Amino acid sequence: MMASSYSAKDEDGHITVTGPGGGTLRSKKPENTAFKQQRLPAWQPILTAGTVLPAFFIIGLIFIPIGIGLYVTSNNIKEFEIDYTGVDMSSPCFNCSHNFSWNSSRPCTCTIPFYLDQPYESNVFMYYGLSNFYQNHRRYVKSRDDSQLNGDTESLKKPSKECEPYAYHENKPIAPCGAIANSMFNDTLELFYNDPNGTKVPIPLTSTGIAWWTDKHVKFRNPGSNNPNLTAVFQGTTKPVNWHRPVYELDPDPENNGFINEDFIVWMRTAALPTFRKLYRIIQKKNNMVPTLPRGNYTLEVVYNYPVLSFEGRKRMILSTISWMGGKNPFLGIAYITVGSVCFFLGVVLLIIHHKYGNRNNSADISN
């Protein structure tokens, strides 16, 4: 059995251990410093009625007005929503929803009339929404190749194993690979204004500027950036199984084609919840004297390419304006009002308790 003895204690708090061979070892005891020995000066608040009660009232008086402002701002945002899933037999999209599948070669078109009871003044954002679609599933979220999407030519020909079983098709690499890209939303939505004189006026929809700047210019790039001919760049690859056309034919605009197509980029940013919406188009305001969308009758024309009944999903189109706090979301305002009201109520209750029992306790301490 090895014997050892303590010979000295260093000034920094370490203990020197002398072994049988004459060597010295240092123990694992922390250094004798204020930080490591927890001797630093500390501030510990003393909770008294004089500090707690004002804190509750201040929080309540600050949070309640902020919550009211957020709630009013959210309610001022105009929003209109149409469900075009086609579940009901009375829906114009009923036949499309029941007869169309991923393997269908001929597109199905349905037309949905609707009425806007108030004009939309500023820029209008057009969203598509899906329900019961779990983009947050672990295997689904991992089913992509970020190197391929960033323009790496080697990953283009040899997709990551994370993309399986959507990495290869008919012995050709899939571009873009993975389950996320394979299930990309591909309905075509067009909006028309029904003029009172009977003519249908198409609403111009902007397809660029809908993706995050960092996604468009950093995370997603086309391979062979110096070659504008995407057909040659993607030669030897094949489209995802559920796509109707290859990635290099998504848009005739070369700045919005291939992996940098903004519809594709928006879809690849997966949602955290099973019910979500994604930005589809922007309706730009062009004349300050005329509303972007005047009040009246409209028609939504849908090229029904995306079946959802197989997973009991729902599809909808949303028209919305925005404010400085983003889209319509009353939750934040309600949360601020609730927290502020609870704090103010607790402050009143504690004040009553302190006024009723605090003097009694002080009198008892004095008598003792």
Q: In the structure, what pLDDT confidence band is assigned to residue 226 with cuts at 50, 70 and 90? A: confident
Residue 33 lies in a domain: no
119 compared with 21, residue with greater pLDDT: 119
The tally of domains found in the chain comes to 2
- Give residue 47's pLDDT: 83
For residues 73 and 207, state if they share a domain.
Answer: no
Residue 4 lies in a domain: no
pLDDT at 36 over 70: yes
Residue 39 lies in a domain: no
For residues 228 and 339, state if they share a domain.
Answer: no
* pTM attached to this predicted model: 0.79
For residues 237 and 340, state if they share a domain.
Answer: no
Residue 119 lies in a domain: yes
For residues 190 and 65, state if they share a domain.
Answer: no
Residue 159 lies in a domain: yes
For residues 62 and 122, state if they share a domain.
Answer: no
Bridge partners of 169, per DSSP, are 172
Residue 310 lies in a domain: yes
Residue 182 lies in a domain: yes
For residues 176 and 279, state if they share a domain.
Answer: yes
Q: In the β-sheet with 296-304, what is the strand arrangement from edge to edge?
A: 108-116, 296-304, 188-194, 200-202
For residues 135 and 219, state if they share a domain.
Answer: yes
For residues 277 and 342, state if they share a domain.
Answer: no
What pLDDT digit, counting tens, does each position of 274-292 carry?
999 999 999 998 887 789 9
What rounded mean pLDDT belongs to the chain?
Answer: 88
Residue 108 lies in a domain: yes
pLDDT at 4 over 50: no
The region, left, alpha or beta by phi > 0 then psi within -120 to 50, assigned to residue 151 is left
Burial pattern 252-274, b for ≥16 Cβ within 10 A else e, equals: eeeebbbbbbbbbbbbbeeeeee
What pLDDT digit, counting tens, does each position of 140-181 carry?
999 999 999 999 999 999 999 999 999 999 999 999 999 999
For residues 136 and 182, state if they share a domain.
Answer: yes
For residues 73 and 83, state if they share a domain.
Answer: no
What pLDDT digit, counting tens, does each position of 230-252 carry?
999 999 999 999 998 999 999 99
Could you list the residue range(s) of the whole structural domain that residue 249 is in? Answer: 78-322
Count of CB atoms situated within 10 Å of the CB of 283: 20
pLDDT at 266 over 90: yes
> What gap in Å lies between CA 128 and CA 81, rounded to an integer?
9
For residues 215 and 67, state if they share a domain.
Answer: no
For residues 270 and 341, state if they share a domain.
Answer: no
The region, left, alpha or beta by phi > 0 then psi within -120 to 50, assigned to residue 186 is alpha
% of the chain surpassing 70 pLDDT:
89
